Structure 1
Amino acid sequence: MESLGDLLKQMPGGGSALRQADKLMEELLADPLVGKLRSKYPELDNETIRLNLNKIYQCTKEFRICSNCPGLDQCPNDFEGHYTELSCETVGGRVQLNDRKVTCKKLIARQSENKIRSRIRSFYVDDRALLEGYSADEIVSKDLERMKAVGQIIKYINVTKENGLQKEGLYLTGSFGTGKTFLMCYMLHELAKAGFTGAIVYMPEFVEDLKSLMLEQGKLKETVDLMKETDLLIFDDIGAENLNPWVRDHVLGAILNYRMNRKPTFYTSNYGLDAIEQHFSFTNKDGDELHKGQRLMDRIRPYVQPVHVTGHNKRGLR
């Protein structure tokens, strides 16, 4: 932003700095903003104004910029996202003009949003699902066919906010593109605002990546521990992954075994609970292992509320 020194240099006439300062003093005294400041602080006399031309010029300049804000990313103020606020006090019989930088509402909102997002971890999920804003009205009105499912999710959010972390999670089923992932991201975002941490894991890519993590035991343990400890864990598109016995029994099983009766786990899937049990019972390596599938389902079925998401395919529309 243009400084007072730059402004004085630009003043026409080529006169002395003193005459230029006198001209700026005259302009500031006629400025309605300075008039309001003097109304608030009647002790603010001309001598104090002259001694603090830079502070007062800065304040009036930034006020007008903020009144026609070009957006936080284009903020031209010296300290991005802040403006100058002035106050007066009398010390030892002398009037002092103090200035301080105040954070603007747009920066406060961004900092708050960043704090919310910092509570959410995403594994292989398109970050756009988490970065875009959410509106409860839009969630409800975007597809009236899924109204019942939306109602269940909003009820779950409200109960968690009022009573704390629940032991049961949600199991969202429905056709392709009905917004299951979107609704779970909305839930994560709303509960992150209430202080809960969360993670969402896209299962097909996570399972593929586990093959390389087998060679990095430290990273594998860190990832599994995070999924065990986070307040809200979502397995997205479960049933679409290519399971092997190690992933099913030693990774997924270990995570769910730790979380049951402690913290809620959530799922989105194109398969219902019975169909997903069949999926867990078969691996390309060992074929059908019904008891292994049932064992994993014992860590899922009793700890979820089924939610059927109906509606039309929205992929490509957002």
Structure 2
Amino acid sequence: MEPIKESLKRVVNVPSFQERYEAMRKSILEHEKIQQFMTANAEAIDAQMIERSLLKLNEYISQSTDCCKCGTTAQCTNYLQGFIPKLLITNGRIDITYERCEQKIVEDERREIASMVSSMHMPKEVLQAAFEDITIAGNRSRLDIGQRVMAFIQEYRETGQLPHKGLYLYGEFGVGKSFILGATANELAKVKVKSVIVYVPEFLRELKAAMADHTLESKVDFVKRAPVLMLDDLGAEAISQWARDEILGAILHYRMSEQLPTFISSNFNYDELEHHLAHSQRGEVETVKARRLMERIKATTTLMRVEGENLRR
């Protein structure tokens, strides 16, 4: 029986195989990117290194070596989706490392931003909001709010500390208050500040159910300790004494004591919200308790009116 080594020799020496090999080798070594790499590393590369590294060089040129900007890494045709190959010399060989392409970097940044924003019962369009999508023309209030938010972020950049006060945004239905909160959360995420944004009516309903499964304390604790808390649509519904005093009161008292910034949106201004909070679901009027809650809101926010047409129509 013929040794396998001899059989392989005979196969390798077949002219057609040798011709194909030489053609492939020539194609690899004449590739523009390979030529550039060998020129840049001429002192470190010798003929033996090239022969030992042909498979790696072929792997390199068989992929896109620049980001093709396909719009999503899911459509990337490289061996590792979202990564482009780079040549380097290591241990006497030419090898390949893989680096994130531009599209992958963008997608990773988006995921990182999304991970910095926790939400409860907020619609998708709010969580994806961006300031560049807010119409400013002819609307001085939105411009002022945008400048306030940027000043808030700039203070954090300069000092490493969050300002103690957020914003209390009030205005008519559909003028974009919730959208501004979402855009603010996403801007904060860009500077690695975590936010929790909560749709208040649904959150309070959820807490009622949480009493039964013993998760009430953990949910309230998660919200009240947020680096930046955003309460959306406060005052949208009549609330119980328990929700006002034990939940909202406890959350806002903690944040006032710890000097944690809070952003709030409401259809009511300060005075209107105080009147609303004074009236419980049972028809009782408790002005003192409502005033106490409002003191905490005023201590953690700055009042700003959002003007404009109803964008939901």
- Partner letter of residue 183 of structure 1? I
**Where in structure 1 are there 5+ consecutive unaligned residues?**
1-13
Q: In the aligned structure 2, how far is the partner of 1:304 from the partner of 1:230?
A: 15
- Contact persistence 2:249–2:293 (CA under 8 A): yes
Q: In the aligned structure 2, how far is the partner of 1:60 from the partner of 1:143?
A: 54
Query: Deviation string for 1:51-108 (max 9, x for gaps)?
Result: 322211221222357346463121121112112211225x6xxx42122121223222
Is 1:52 equivalent to 2:15 in the alignment? no
Alignment match, 2:249: 253
Alignment match, 1:77: 78
The count of corresponding residues between Structure 1 and Structure 2 is 296
- Contact persistence 2:126–2:179 (CA under 8 A): yes
- Contact persistence 2:279–2:286 (CA under 8 A): yes
Is 1:162 equivalent to 2:154 in the alignment? no
SS in 2 for 1:288: coil
Deviation at 1:187, TM superposition (A): 1.6
Alignment match, 2:308: 311
**Where in structure 2 are there 5+ consecutive unaligned residues?**
1-13
C-alpha change, 1:96 and 1:18, in structure 2 (3 Å) is same
Q: Tell me the C-alpha RMSD between the 2 structures.
A: 2.3
Q: In the aligned structure 2, how far is the partner of 1:51 from the partner of 1:242?
A: 76
Deviation at 1:226, TM superposition (A): 0.8
- Contact persistence 2:65–2:84 (CA under 8 A): no
Show the 5 A alignment for 1:95-174: 95-132=92-129, 134-136=130-132, 138-139=133-134, 141=136, 144-145=139-140, 146-163=142-159, 164-174=161-171
SS in 2 for 1:298: helix
Deviation at 1:39, TM superposition (A): 1.0
C-alpha change, 1:242 and 1:153, in structure 2 (3 Å) is same
- Partner letter of residue 223 of structure 2? M
- Contact persistence 2:195–2:229 (CA under 8 A): yes
Question: Which residue of the other structure, out of 185, 199, 203, is the alignment partner of 2:200?
Answer: 203
- Contact persistence 2:53–2:95 (CA under 8 A): no
- Contact persistence 2:85–2:96 (CA under 8 A): yes
Q: In the aligned structure 2, how far is the partner of 1:183 from the partner of 1:53?
A: 56
Q: In the aligned structure 2, how far is the partner of 1:64 from the partner of 1:159?
A: 41
Query: Deviation string for 1:1-29 (max 9, x for gaps)?
Result: xxxxxxxxxxxxx9755433222111112
Show the 5 A alignment for 1:15-94: 17-42=17-42, 43-64=44-65, 66-67=67-68, 69=70, 71-88=72-89
SS in 2 for 1:63: coil
Alignment match, 1:8: none
TM-score (norm 2): 0.86
Query: Deviation string for 1:122-145 (max 9, x for gaps)?
Result: 00001332235x355x44646634
- Contact persistence 2:87–2:95 (CA under 8 A): yes
- Partner letter of residue 144 of structure 1? N
- Contact persistence 1:170–1:306 (CA under 8 A): yes
Deviation at 1:208, TM superposition (A): 1.9
- Contact persistence 1:84–1:99 (CA under 8 A): yes
TM-score (norm 1): 0.84
Aligned sequence identity (%): 29
C-alpha change, 1:135 and 1:15, in structure 2 (3 Å) is farther
Deviation at 1:224, TM superposition (A): 0.6
- Partner letter of residue 202 of structure 1? Y
- Contact persistence 1:161–1:191 (CA under 8 A): no
Q: In the aligned structure 2, how far is the partner of 1:159 from the partner of 1:110?
A: 28
C-alpha change, 1:234 and 1:107, in structure 2 (3 Å) is same
- Contact persistence 1:143–1:311 (CA under 8 A): no
Deviation at 1:201, TM superposition (A): 0.6
Deviation at 1:38, TM superposition (A): 1.2
**Which stretch of the first structure deviates more once superposed, 247-256 or 109-118?**
109-118
Q: In the aligned structure 2, how far is the partner of 1:305 from the partner of 1:247?
A: 23
C-alpha change, 1:175 and 1:70, in structure 2 (3 Å) is closer
Q: In the aligned structure 1, how far is the partner of 2:127 from the partner of 2:299?
A: 28
- Contact persistence 1:227–1:255 (CA under 8 A): yes
Q: In the aligned structure 2, how far is the partner of 1:45 from the partner of 1:147?
A: 63
SS in 2 for 1:283: coil
